[in-house]
Amino acid sequence: MDGFPAFAPELALSNDGAPEGAHHRLDEMQAKSFWFRARNRLIQDLVRRYFADARNVLEIGCGTGFVLSGIREVLPEAQLVASEAYSHGLPYAAKRVSPPCEFLQMDARAVPFSGEFDLVGAFDVLEHIDEDGAVLGEARRALRAGGGLLITVPQHRWLWSRFDEESFHRRRYSPGQLAHVLRRQGFQVLRETSFVFFLLPLMIMQRLGAGRRRGYDPAREFALPAVVEKSFEALLDLERLLIRMRVRLPIGGSQVVVAKKDGSG
């Protein structure tokens, strides 16, 4: 479809995982947003720390390719595979991610690979899918024995708000919940920590007020004055440095988990 291999064409143009036109808005927003930039640097740090030798990498739900372009900077020679359920996200990713990279449309619950990858990533994807355990099982099957998994998800059920509803989220994860599911799927959890720790009080205030505003647009959370952007980004970079020092942040708006497939194949 549109020049890309399609393994689940019934989901390519419309599904219940994201709002209409989401990728166009993301493409305009991500590079300008402190949160997306800071999250990318955190992911890059973790790839350097745990998966510096990865040669074959799959991203599930690549969106516009913003995260994968950051991984490319860390792994300049790796073979990348960018997958997305919505086919209209792939042209953005193809423009952003440099080769060698393959782009394909697929259902994360039916990954068309087995024993192929050194690293699989899913960045703020699982919360959009009812069958998150099935996605993790498919990620495990796609990995080689000893391969790694890197995941970010929104955290804390008590933070559920209109933002989550407008973003087509199915859940927010409790601390330890994702790690528990991963262990049941045959993964060894190497690292689990919160982030967006210092900004959590402001996040709570914003989410509490969101439901009372007319014409609420979740994208407004990422449209901030430049001085506020810089200040917030500096705080997230401080968190990133603490995480690099092996500090486990106890609470935060998001969670990152690093895991490894056991050696049984």
- Give the CATH number of domain 9-260; options: 3.30.470.20, 3.40.50.150, 3.40.50.2300, 1.10.3720.10: 3.40.50.150
| Beta-carbon count within 10 A of 208 CB | 11
Which residues have C-beta within 8 Å of that of residue 29, sequence separation ≥ 6? 36, 219, 222, 223
Predicted local distance difference test score (pLDDT) of residue 23: 78
* Cα–Cα distance list, 182 to 39, 50, 192, 258, 265 (Å): 22, 17, 11, 10, 15
Taking a C-beta distance cutoff of 8 angstroms, is the pair 26, 63 a contact? yes
Please give the sequence-ordered ranges of beta strands (E in DSSP) within the chain, or none if there are none: 56-60, 79-84, 101-105, 117-123, 143-154, 187-195, 254-261
Predicted local distance difference test score (pLDDT) of residue 191: 97
b/e sequence 79-102, b meaning 16+ C-beta within 10 Å: bbbbbbbbbbbbbbbbebbeeebe
> Domain residues of the chain, as ranges?
9-260
Two tokens, residue 65? 């390719």
Q: What is the mean pLDDT of each run of 10 residues along the chain (265 residues)?
A: 93 76 79 94 98 98 96 98 94 95 97 97 97 96 97 96 90 95 94 97 83 63 84 97 96 98 71
CA distance 12 to 15: 7
CA distance 14 to 126: 18
Q: Is the pTM of this model over 0.85?
A: yes
* Cα–Cα distance list, 228 to 127, 223, 232, 235 (Å): 28, 10, 6, 11
DSSP structural state of residue 20: T
Taking a C-beta distance cutoff of 8 angstroms, is the pair 33, 26 a contact? no
Taking a C-beta distance cutoff of 8 angstroms, is the pair 211, 204 a contact? no
Taking a C-beta distance cutoff of 8 angstroms, is the pair 174, 159 a contact? no
Predicted local distance difference test score (pLDDT) of residue 2: 84
Q: Tell me which amino acid residue 160 is.
A: W
